[in-house]
Structure formats: C-alpha cells, structure tokens
Amino acid sequence: MEDKAPVALVTGAAKRIGATIVRRLHANGYRVVVHYSSSYEEANSLVNKLNHSRPNSAISLQGNLCDSSHIDAIAERSVEAWGRLDVLVNNASSFYPTPMGEITEDDWSSLVGSNTKGPLFLSQALVPALQQTGGCIINMVDMHLDRPLPKHSVYLLAKAGLASLTRSMAIELAPQVRINGIAPGAILWPERDMDELAKQRLIDSVPLQQLGSPDDIADALSFLVSASYVTGQIIYVDGGRSLYTSAEI
C-alpha cells in the first residue's frame, strides 16, 4: 500500500503556511517533498517529525527557484524520490516593498523569480509526471490582485502573472492536469514588526474581524486537491477583505 501512496511537492515549505500545508497533506496519506531555500533547520526538523510518525514519508530539498538549474534539479529529485508526483504546490514567495523610484533589477529578479518564474518552470518540468498520475497544481497567489497594495508594484505584477498562468495552464493542460490557485489574505502577522495600532487597523479591514489561520489555507487546498471537476479557479481565503475597495498598507 505504501508504495502506491501519492506524492506532493510543496515549495517554501519549511515554516509558516508551507509547513502547515505539508503537515495536512502528510496527514491525508501523502508522501511529501519539503522544498526550502535557506531554512535548513526548520525543513529538516519538519521532515524528521513526519518520518518519525510514518517512516520514509518525507524528504527535504534545497534550491533557489530563481535559478533554472536549481529548478530542474528540484523537479528531477522530487520525482526520483518515490517514482511519481501527484500534487505540486507553488507556495514559495519573496515579499517586500519596492517603492517607485527605488526599484532595482535585483528586486525584479527576486520577486518575479520566486513568484512567477519559479512556478512556471517548475510546473513545466513536472507536467509529464503529473500527467501520468492525473495530478494537480496549486498556485499560491494573493488577495491584493484586485486591491493593490501600495509600494508593492513588483510583487503584485509577479502575483498577477501567476494568476494568469494559473488560468492559461488550466486550459492548456486539461484534461490530464488540473491547475487552481489560492489567494490568501491576512493569515499570519508579517514577519516584520507591527505595532498594536497597525494590527488593529488590519483586523478592522477584514469583514470577519479576525486574522486567518494557516489551517484555513490547508482547508482550501485539501478541497482543491480533491475537487476533480474544478480547474482554472482562484479561491480567496481572506475573511472577505478583498471585498473592500480601499487599499490598506
């Protein structure tokens, strides 16, 4: 039975939302490939815990999704691990402000590389494996697609590209492979410091009046993985925040 268990690759999976997605897929019977860029200790701690609960069910892979040679290696090693791939979750993302007048080519390379280039070329490399299993791709987009976030133009254009890619690939790769997206809202407090006033302003901008949980994202992902008649869709998991028209920093 174990050698027939499905396999999922989750990028940027060492911590935060990515780690929650990995734990959920693992709990649902998947073997998991935990990709990370620099979070070596977190990735290996997660893998060790998962393998302790179910032997030979998790591995970690390091790689830079802005580097084409790394992308190819990640794809190859992910399939080689157990001889198949059923789910690809493009979760890895760089996120930081780029005020107009201060944008550099390094910003472009980092933000577009991690949010658009990486998902595109990793998906392309893994299409043959996903076609063999009738698998699916889940892209992590952003609720600010329709509600621009000031000073984040490069990040948002990269996420807009990923949203467009989600829809176009869904047409091109049907019927063998399904592609959908998730647009998270305020799920976790940013890793940068926020004072209490800023936190309250953020909560006030959410109709459901609370921060979301990584488990909310995992719930949506579990649905999309199992929803065999859904493709080309982007589900907003944002407590209704995207319904407001005014932008919040």
pLDDT at 56 over 60: yes
Whether the Cβ atoms of residue 61 and residue 34 lie closer than 8 Å to each other: yes
Give the contacts of 63 (CB within 8 A, at least 6 positions apart).
Answer: 35, 37, 70, 71, 73, 74
40 is catalytic: no
Domain ranges of the chain: 2-243
Number of H helices, E strands in the chain: 8, 7
pLDDT at 1: 40
Going from the C-alpha of 24 to that of each of 30, 67, 151, 186, 199, the distances in angstroms are: 9, 28, 34, 20, 28
- pLDDT at 83 (0 to 100): 97
Residue 248 has pLDDT above 80, yes or no: no
Q: How far is CA 96 from CA 32, 93, 110, 136, in A?
A: 28, 10, 10, 29
- The CATH code of domain 2-243 reads 3.40.50.720
The active-site residue, picked from 30, 36, 155, 236, is 155
> Amino acid identity of 173?
L
pLDDT tens track for 172-194 = 999 999 999 999 988 887 666 77
